[in-house]
Amino acid sequence: MKIMKYMLVVMTCLITGISSGAPEQGKVSGNFENERWNATPNDINNLMKSAQNLINANYSMEVKTLDELSPDPEQNPVLYYSGHYNFSFSPAERTKLRKFMLDGGMMIFNTGLGSAPFYRSASKELSLIFPESPLQRLSADHPLFHSYYDVDHVKYSPGVYKTGFKGDEPWIDGVNINCRTVAIISRFCLAVGWDGGEVRNDYAAYYPESAQKLGVNIFSYATATRAWAKSSAARMKFVDKEETATDKMCMAQVVYDGEWKTRHAGLSLLMKTFNQKTEIPVKFGLKDMRLSDPKIFDAPLLYITGHENFRLNKSEKELLQKYLLNGGFLFAEACCGRRGFDMAFKEEMRSILPQNPLKPIPITSSIFEQPNKITSCGVTPALANQLGGVTAAKPNLQGVEINGRYVVVYSPFGMAGGWEVSQSPYAFGYNDISALSLGQNILLYAVTQ
């Protein structure tokens, strides 16, 4: 059996602070650095052995400064950075790390013994590196928790609960770009569990078994997602050269607090194929708009998606209700088929249109007739496995119908990755052809009914 070889780089010369008193910004070196970044010397080696044995990914380790680091993830696909104190990157370093992660690399921040200063610094730095994508806690259905082991619950040391945390779910925050988590922060220490030594009661850390399972999952996820990251169609940009044209359909993507943009080129690609299929002019310059903005009434079509749980405020709900009752159309999808968004969207719709519930759209609906005749849809490998091994299934769309017309069409399975011809290996969704066909049909229904 072939074992894939990868390089993991442990970053050094980036721990900041002093051993007593107030933390101090700046790079340090020498013995202090060695004591801090390498406080658990066997952590990574032990974890890599587990990863090699279980997922056939042979990671070797190098220790480098950020200056020495190649921004090419082919040279070092995973970066690991652990510490206890406040730190900060320079603007040039942030640019370098952003390029590295967008090109397919993954960055792991481990909070030494659950250090709050390090956690806050890592959170701030990721918000500066990726201002367009909010750092958020990964929900229980995130594929990172199921990429090898199913890790729904973990065992923490008593020190975790001294911080005020309650529960037994893993706490990992992440930044998602185009359906791929490119950086994670473990709120509580993983390295102590990887190291294999004693986990003292005052450590805010995972016990070894839980830490090892999470670590193997992290490497399994990084390995699988890197295989498709560089070829993602999200790097394609479509520019509307006729910006002054007024006879084009415009779609507005809904902005909300949370990860509201999961794919950056999906809608443009869908609308491009829709234009080719139907010869209906399409405006590629899509708008991003909050539901509290009265200008939503200028958009005949709204699109909303996401991975995680979300909430709309009172004014957003009221305006969306008015928009839908006055002839507007909402196209929604749970990107990658994620449960967090699915549950949140259904709850919001029950609140907004309580007298008009979401119901399955029958296969006899005109939505499945034009421009593509759809009787079944191909599904992704992950969804096929969930459905018992079938590679195709009846389309699963749900809708809110008012006066004989659907004003909301919702897909609980992911489509945007298919529009980009780049579904995540963990997506519960439709394959590329079916995703495009369904998307085209929904758009045609929206503009003709």
SS3 sequence of 133-181:
CCCEECCCCCHHHCCCCCCCCCCECHHHHHCCCCCCCCCEEEEEECCEE
In this predicted structure, what is the pLDDT of residue 16?
28
The pLDDT value recorded for residue 287 is 86
Contact between 59 and 44 under an 8 Å Cβ cutoff? The reply is no
- Six-digit token pair at 300? 């005949």
CA distance 208 to 198: 9
Chain-centroid distance of CA 426 in Å reads 11
Which DSSP state fits 243? T
Give the span between the Cα atoms of 72 and 79, in whole angstroms: 12
pLDDT score for 40: 58
| 30-39, 48-57, 349-358: least confident range | 30-39
pLDDT at 56: 65
Residues 157, 204: contact at Cβ < 8 Å?
Answer: yes
Q: Report, as an integer, the average pLDDT of 16-28.
A: 29
Alpha helices in 372-422 (DSSP H): 381-386, 416-419
Listed range (6-10, 137-141, 296-300, 414-418) with the worst mean pLDDT: 6-10
Cα–Cα distance measured from residue 138 to residue 217, given in angstroms and rounded to the nearest whole number: 14
Q: Are 254 and 260 in contact (CB under 8 A)?
A: yes
By DSSP bridging, strand 136-137 and strand 4-12 are: unpaired
Query: Which is more confidently placed, 58 or 1?
Result: 58
Instruction: Give the span between the Cα atoms of 122 and 301, in whole angstroms.
Output: 38
Q: Do residues 292 and 319 make contact, with C-beta atoms less than 8 angstroms apart?
A: yes
Residue owning tokens 């709120």: 187
Q: Environment class of residue 431 by beta-carbon count within 10 Å: exposed (0-12), middle (13-18) or buried (19+)? A: buried
Helix, strand, coil abundance in the chain, percent, nearest 5: 35, 20, 45
> Of 34-38, 203-207, 276-280, 309-313, where does mean pLDDT reach its minimum?
34-38
* CA 295 from centre of chain: 28
Domains of the chain: 4-229 (3.40.50.12140), 233-448 (3.40.50.12140)
How far apart, in Å, are the Cα atoms of 291 and each of 26, 245, 310, 314?
43, 25, 14, 10
Amino acid at 129: I
Asked if pLDDT for residue 4 goes beyond 50, the answer is: no
By the 8 A CB rule, do 227 and 105 touch?
A: no
Query: Which of 287, 255, 295 lies closest to 271 in space, CA to CA?
Result: 287
Q: Which of 11-15, 109-113, 147-151, 386-390 has the lowest mean pLDDT?
A: 11-15
Question: Counting Cβ atoms within 10 Å, is residue 267 exposed (0-12), middle (13-18) or buried (19+)?
Answer: buried
CA distance 309 to 334: 10
Confidence of residue 285 (pLDDT cuts 50, 70, 90): low
Query: In this structure, is the dihedral angle defined by the CA atoms of residues 190, 195, 196 and 199, taken in order, positive or negative?
Result: negative
pLDDT in tens, 320-337: 999 999 999 999 999 999
Mean pLDDT of the chain: 84
Residues 164-213 pLDDT 10s: 999 999 999 999 998 999 999 999 999 988 887 778 899 999 999 999 99
- 27 or 7, higher pLDDT: 7
Residue with tokens 């519960």: 428
**For position 447, what pLDDT does the model report?**
87
Higher pLDDT, 57 or 385: 385
Tell me: pLDDT of 83 over 60. yes
The lowest-confidence range among 8-12, 288-292, 397-401 is 8-12
Beta bridge partner(s), residue 331: 303, 409
Residue 19 pLDDT > 70: no
Are 415 and 402 a contacting pair, CB within 8 Å? no
Name the phi and psi angles at 226, rounded to 5: -65, -25
pLDDT at 41: 55
pLDDT digits 0-9 by tens, 49-80: 766 666 666 667 778 888 888 888 888 888 88
What is the SS3 assignment for 197? coil
Tokens representing residue 335 in the block: 């990107």
Distance from C-alpha of 287 to C-alpha of 41, rounded to nearest angstrom: 50
User: CB neighbours (10 Å) of residue 343?
Assistant: 14
Question: In this predicted structure, what is the pLDDT of residue 196?
Answer: 75
Is the entire prediction scored with pTM above 0.85?
A: no
- Whole-angstrom CA distances from 411 to 231, 396, 428, 448 are 25, 7, 11, 20
Q: What is the pLDDT of residues 287-305, one digit of tens each?
A: 899 999 999 998 889 999 9
Helices 266-278, 432-448: axis angle to 10 degrees equals 70
Q: What is the pLDDT of residue 74?
A: 84
pLDDT at 240 > cutoff 50? no
